[in-house]
Structure 1
C-alpha cells in the first residue's frame, strides 16, 4: 500500500514537473534583441558570424538599428571567421557536414556516416553567389572546421586548417604558395618543444594544436593562434621559424585556449582569452597584462574582440549568446542578444587590420568573477545548449532534473513491484 501511494505521488510529480517545463518553454524569451546606451556604439554596420550549436550556422550583417539587412545561411553548416573585402564581397569560412555518398572514401575511415567539406568562400554581396572558393574534405566536423581566413594585399588568401594542424596561403587559382605544418615547428625535437614544451602530437585525427587564427602582420610575419598550446606565435614566412611567442603551454594565467588575437599598433596584443572568460590586452614582449575585461560575471567564453577607433571594444560573448560593445570605462553601450553561439563580429566601418585606436593603458579594466558553484552552474547551462533547445536554461534544467529523478524512482518502484509478484 505504501509503495502504491509513493508511486502515485511520483507519477503526479512527473506530470506536474512536465507541465511546469512546458510553461517555462512557452514563457521563455527566444527572440533576438538589441539595445544601446545613451552615448551609443561606434558608427557602422556589424558583421556577425554564427557557429551555432548544431548545423544552422549563418552570417549576418546588422545595420545601426541592429536590424538584419543581409544574411547567408548555408545548409548543414557552421560559419566561422568572415570579413568584408575592398570590392564589397564577403570572405567567409564555412564547414559543411556531408552524407557519405558525397565523401571521398579516404575520409570515411574514422566516422563512416559522414565527412565534412571545409570551405573558404567569397560571396558576391548582391547575389550571395560564390565567386571564389577553396575547399578540402576532412573526417569529422568537431575540431576539424576551418576557423579563420584572411585576404592578403596581393590577392592571396591565408587560411588555418585545424584538422591538419597547418596554416597555408593559396593564390587566386587555388594553388598553395606557402604552407606551415605544426609538426615541423611544435613537435618533438623542435626548438619550441625544447624551450616551452607542450602537448605531444597524438597523431591521427586527434585535436592536437587547434590552430584557429592567422594574420599577416605589418612586419611581414604571420601571426598564428595555437589554442591548445595557450600561445600566440609569430612565424617568419621565408624560414617558417617561430620568431616570437606570447604565453606558454599550460601557463593559463596568461592565456587559456584563446581565440582571435589582434596586434594593435602600439605593439600590444588584444586577445579573446576564452577559458579565462575575459578579453585581455598583453604586452607582446613581456606577457604583462595591460588591460582586461571579463570574469564569468561579465563574459562566458569570449571568442573575438576588436578595439574600435574611439577606444570601445567589440566582444563576442559566445556562451552568453550575444555580442557586446563596451566603452573605455568598461560599460556596455551596445549589445545584440539571442544569437546562438556567435563566433566573430566586425564593425564594417573599421578596417579589418591596422587602424588607429586607444591603447589599453588609457582604458579602465573590469573583472567580475563568480563563486565556484555559480561558475559550475553557468557551465552546465552552456553545455546544455548542445543537447537541449536554447531556451533551456538553469531553471528549466532543474525542472528537468526533478522529472528524471522522480521518473527513475517511479520505475525502480515499479520494477520491484513486478519482481515481487513473480
Structure 2
C-alpha cells in the first residue's frame, strides 16, 4: 500500500471514529429532567449565561413545576437570587456597556452589584432598583451573592476587591477585607486572587463566606474578624491553590499560603449552614455535593454525605445545594444544565433541564435557610477522575458551554484518537507528494 492510499485510509478512519464517538454518545446519553415529584413546586433560578458563554445571556426566572412563568434577562449574568417579603426578587448581577459612572475605568464599562426585580410590573418583570459599581473586568470580578439583612441593609460578597460589604441606603456602611487574613497581591482587582463567591448571615453579625480559590469556608464576626476556618490549611495542600497563575500567591515570601485540602473542598460554591457542626456545600472542583460535619474529638471538618451522580450522570461543576424543609436537597448542576431534588439516599424526586448556565436555585417559599436536617452515613468519596481525560473534559466544557452534557472522558478519548488518525493521515498524504 502506497503512502497516498494509507493517508486516505487514515483520514477516513478519523472521520469514522469521530462521527461514531459523537453519534453513540448522543444515542446512549442519559435522559435528564424526567423525574417529577407529586404536587406543584416553585423554583427561583439565577442563570449566569447562555449561548454566548458564561458572561452573556444571563437571566433570572421562576419555574412552577417545570413551566417558566416569568423571566428577566436585561443583565449579562445573574447569580444568587432570593424572594423578598413584598414579592420582589433580590438578585446579584453583572452587566457590560455602561456609558456613565465608570470612574476610574474608561467608558463604556462593566458594573456589578444587586438588583430588585418586580415580577408583576406593568409590561412584565422589570428592574425597579439597582446598586452597581464599576469593575475592571466582567470576568472574575462579579458580585456573586447578596443577602438582605434583618436591618434592611444588604450584605455583598465583593469578588473584585475581595471583601465583604454592607450597603445601607446606597452607601458602604461596613467592610471586611480578606487581605487581613490572606497574603494579598499589590492590586486584587488585577487578578482572580480569592474569588469570594458567597456570604450568608448565620447569626447576628456572624457571616459564613466561601473563599473559592483557597478551598476554604470562613466564619467572620463583625468586630472580631475570622473566628473559624472550615478546611484549615494542613501544611501539605498549597499546590492545589496555585494551579492557575492568577490564584493564591505567597506575597510576603514566607513560603506558605493559606489553602485547604482539595480532597475535602475544591473550588466550592454556596455553602449552607445546617447547624454549629454541619455545613452543606457544592464542592464544584470535586464534581459533588458534600455535607461536612465537625469531628467532636479532633475539631476537623470531615465528609459525612456526598452526592456524585444522579440520573446515571455524574455531576459537573455543581454550584449550589440547599437542604429543603422536606428533608430533601435541591442541587444546581451547572455544566449539566439541570436542577435536581434528591432524597437523602440520592434518589431523584424532581429534575429539570434548564436552558443556559444555571448558577443558583431556591425552592419557594423558604428559599435557602439557615439550619436544616443533617444527613449522615460516613459516605466514601472515591475519585472518578481519569488522568488527562478528566482535565480535557473540564477544559472543553469551560471553553464551550454549549458542549453536550453527555460529553465525558470516553468522548474526549474518542476525539483524541480521531485527531491522531487525522494527523497521521495528513502526514502520509504529504509524504506521498
Report deviation, 1:18.
6.5
Partner residue in 2 for 1:63: 64
| TM-score, reference length from structure 2 | 0.77
CA distance in 1, matches of 2:425, 2:140: 40
Report deviation, 1:177.
0.9
Partner residue in 2 for 1:73: 73
Q: 2:270 aligns with which of 242, 260, 267?
A: 260
CA distance in 2, matches of 1:154, 1:167: 16
Partner residue in 2 for 1:308: 324
Range that drifts further, 202-211 or 278-287: 278-287
Q: 1:325 aligns with which of 300, 316, 341?
A: 341
1:120 aligns with 2:130: no
1:404 aligns with 2:419: yes
Asked if the contact 2:272/2:368 (under 8 Å) is kept, the reply is no
Partner residue in 1 for 2:95: 96
Q: How does 1:157-306 map to 2 (within 5 A)?
A: 157-172=154-169, 174-183=170-179, 185-188=180-183, 201=185, 203-204=187-188, 205-237=190-222, 239=223, 241-248=225-232, 249-265=259-275, 267-276=277-286, 277-283=288-294, 286-289=299-302, 291-295=304-308, 299-306=315-322
Asked if the contact 1:330/1:364 (under 8 Å) is kept, the reply is no
Range that drifts further, 43-52 or 389-398: 389-398
Note closer, same or farther for the CA distance 1:368–1:262 as it changes in structure 2 (3 Å cut).
Answer: closer
Report deviation, 1:402.
4.3
Partner residue in 2 for 1:82: 81
CA distance in 2, matches of 1:32, 1:312: 18
Report deviation, 1:62.
1.4
Asked if the contact 1:294/1:368 (under 8 Å) is kept, the reply is no
Asked if the contact 1:278/1:301 (under 8 Å) is kept, the reply is no
Q: 5+ residue gaps in structure 2?
A: 233-258
Note closer, same or farther for the CA distance 1:255–1:27 as it changes in structure 2 (3 Å cut).
Answer: closer
Report deviation, 1:378.
4.7
CA distance in 1, matches of 2:399, 2:4: 34
Report deviation, 1:415.
4.1
Note closer, same or farther for the CA distance 1:230–1:29 as it changes in structure 2 (3 Å cut).
Answer: closer
Note closer, same or farther for the CA distance 1:410–1:84 as it changes in structure 2 (3 Å cut).
Answer: same
CA distance in 2, matches of 1:219, 1:102: 37
Asked if the contact 2:157/2:196 (under 8 Å) is kept, the reply is yes
Task: State how many pairs are aligned.
Answer: 390
Note closer, same or farther for the CA distance 1:330–1:295 as it changes in structure 2 (3 Å cut).
Answer: closer
Per-residue CA shift, 1:59-93, capped at 9, x if unaligned?
232113x2222222235x22211111111111111
Residue 422 of structure 2 aligns to a residue whose secondary structure is helix
Tell me which protein shows more helix as a share of its residues.
Answer: 1
Q: Larger relative CO (CA 8 A, sep 6+): 1 or 2?
A: 2
Note closer, same or farther for the CA distance 1:165–1:44 as it changes in structure 2 (3 Å cut).
Answer: same
